[in-house]
Structure 1
Amino acid sequence: MIAGHLRREWCDSTSMLDERTAHARALFKGIAPAYGTPAEILSFGQYGRWRRALVRAMGLRASDVVLDVATGTGLIARDITKQYGCRVVGVDQSIEMIGRAQGLSDRVGADANALPFHDSRFDRLVFSYLLRYVADPPQTLRELVRVLKPGGALASVEFGVPPSPLPRIGWSVHALGVFPFATRAFGPEWAHVGAFLPHSIVDWAKEWPLERQVDMWHAAGITEIKTRRMTFGTGVLIKGRKRGG
């Protein structure tokens, strides 16, 4: 495939999508030109540091072929190619987002629940802010593991809610008060993101606390699992390896 070419692997009709997937696609369609902005605001400017920590956690080599699922505008892929020179294949359900991505060898518009790749295809796999948007996180994670080579590394980053009382109070004031107000300045699409995202993070943290996420990774066939809470727990990094190899 020619580098930079965009291949679609889905039907454009949202009637074929589950509710969460359709909502996520609609949510990010209007904000693709400046996707990184809400992450920077909500992470207290730490989003770039979290990305770099995620890339370092993967143990990359220049010869690795990496799959970046939910690549968005390709910020993680750009960091990987710049630092390690790996070939990175990006997947995202949003044509608007992935169409602006940089640092990708190949771009594929596809659903993370039905990746258009053979089993055991990739040396490394990275995903960010993904499982919170799918209807069945364990099933989606199993699909990601399917295309990873045995022994291959898997790593992810997601927003979190601080576990300690004082940081949690500060986060709540910022995320539930300041953030929704600040996003209104960017227009109606951003206002919708501002109203939705903080509550989505809270709901995810309640339904999938870190210990339960680790259990989900184990059940999907991942071993050597390590976790790291970043910036008082507002960011969560998880990494591991596919069994075998």
Structure 2
Amino acid sequence: SMLDERTRHARALFGGIAPAYGTPAEILSFGQYGRWRRALVRGMGCSSTDLVLDVATGTGLIARDIEKRYGCRVVGVDQSMEMMGRAEGLSDRVGADANALPFHESRFDCLVFSYLFRYVADPPQTLQELVRVLKPGGTLASVEFGVPPSPLPRIGWSVHALGVFPLATRAFGPEWAHVGAFLPHSIVDWANEWPLERQVDMWHAAGITEIKTRRMTFGTGVLIKGRKRGG
């Protein structure tokens, strides 16, 4: 199938930066990136017998955290094979598009995804595909960048994300320059088009219940989790 423009863009964007991925993300998140990830994993509440799917696994940081914390099996999916090539210690890796997961329905006990929806053409459609492979009663959890809702932190974030960050990324080499330019604007566009209330509505519409949201670091990080109906 023809890859849509955003998918192609994501692939091009992350292909060249896989070896250093994490460091500029740390800068953009004011060093809170790891904290958000740990909070995400802690909130999932998996058991050791669970089969977990990590979509947009990248270099496998979240997958490894889940394996370490819960002792369960994690399958990592990413469309960027370069990124996954860096995913040391991750046992199960699958190269696939989040819109066409190569799994039967109701296959996984838990599903986690991170920084995904800004790179897909149709978030509700992608979410439906994620929910399809999740067991009824299974946990769905995500983390994404956000824009602070209150004015003062928002100004600080804008200066940092739109001013400091693009300059800082250049220090990591030429392949980071376009990431520095692109990433903050993609976050602003996402926050404008998909405010948190609208994201929650989208989760409800996809068959997710008991939805909880958590803004972290003034709202620069956003965690969402819920359970698939039934089960």
Q: State whether TM-score is above 0.5.
A: yes
Q: CA deviation at 1:37?
A: 1.0
Provide TM-score, normalisation by structure 1: 0.93
Structure 2 CA distance for aligned equivalents of residues 49 and 108 of structure 1: 26
Contact kept? 1:62, 1:86, Cα under 8 Å: yes
User: Is residue 151 from structure 1 mapped to residue 137 from structure 2 by the alignment?
Assistant: yes
Q: CA deviation at 1:38?
A: 1.6
Structure 1 CA distance for aligned equivalents of residues 137 and 193 of structure 2: 29
Structure 2 CA distance for aligned equivalents of residues 101 and 154 of structure 1: 22
CA displacement, residues 98-142 of structure 1 (integer Å, 9 cap, x when unaligned):
111134231000000000000000000000000110000000000
Residue in structure 1 matching 2:183, options 187, 197, 205:
197
Structure 1 CA distance for aligned equivalents of residues 105 and 22 of structure 2: 32
Structure 1 CA distance for aligned equivalents of residues 29 and 172 of structure 2: 18
Structure 1 CA distance for aligned equivalents of residues 85 and 108 of structure 2: 22
Structure 1 CA distance for aligned equivalents of residues 203 and 21 of structure 2: 28
Structure 1 CA distance for aligned equivalents of residues 60 and 88 of structure 2: 5
CA displacement, residues 174-233 of structure 1 (integer Å, 9 cap, x when unaligned):
000000001111111100100000000000000000000000000001000000000000
Provide TM-score, normalisation by structure 2: 0.99
Structure 1's unaligned 5+ residue stretches are 1-14
CA displacement, residues 37-59 of structure 1 (integer Å, 9 cap, x when unaligned):
12100000000000000001111
The sequence identity of aligned pairs, in percent, is: 91
Q: CA deviation at 1:25?
A: 0.3
Q: CA deviation at 1:74?
A: 0.2
Runs ≥4 in structure 1, deviation > 4 angstroms? Answer: none
Structure 1 CA distance for aligned equivalents of residues 16 and 2 of structure 2: 21
Q: Which moved more, 1:101-110 or 1:235-244?
A: 101-110
CA displacement, residues 117-170 of structure 1 (integer Å, 9 cap, x when unaligned):
000000000000001100000000000000000000000000000000000000
Structure 1 CA distance for aligned equivalents of residues 49 and 90 of structure 2: 15
Contact kept? 1:125, 1:153, Cα under 8 Å: yes
Aligned to 2:14: 28
Structure 1 CA distance for aligned equivalents of residues 143 and 54 of structure 2: 12
Structure 1 CA distance for aligned equivalents of residues 174 and 110 of structure 2: 37
Structure 2 CA distance for aligned equivalents of residues 38 and 155 of structure 1: 23
Structure 2's unaligned 5+ residue stretches are none
Contact kept? 1:88, 1:103, Cα under 8 Å: no
Q: How many residues align?
A: 231
Root-mean-square deviation (CA, aligned residues, Å) is 0.8
Aligned to 1:8: none
Where 1:142 maps in the other structure, the secondary structure is helix
Structure 1 CA distance for aligned equivalents of residues 89 and 197 of structure 2: 33
Residue in structure 2 matching 1:133, options 96, 101, 119:
119
Structure 2 CA distance for aligned equivalents of residues 234 and 103 of structure 1: 29
Aligned to 2:48: 62
Contact kept? 1:42, 1:175, Cα under 8 Å: yes
Where 2:54 maps in the other structure, the secondary structure is strand
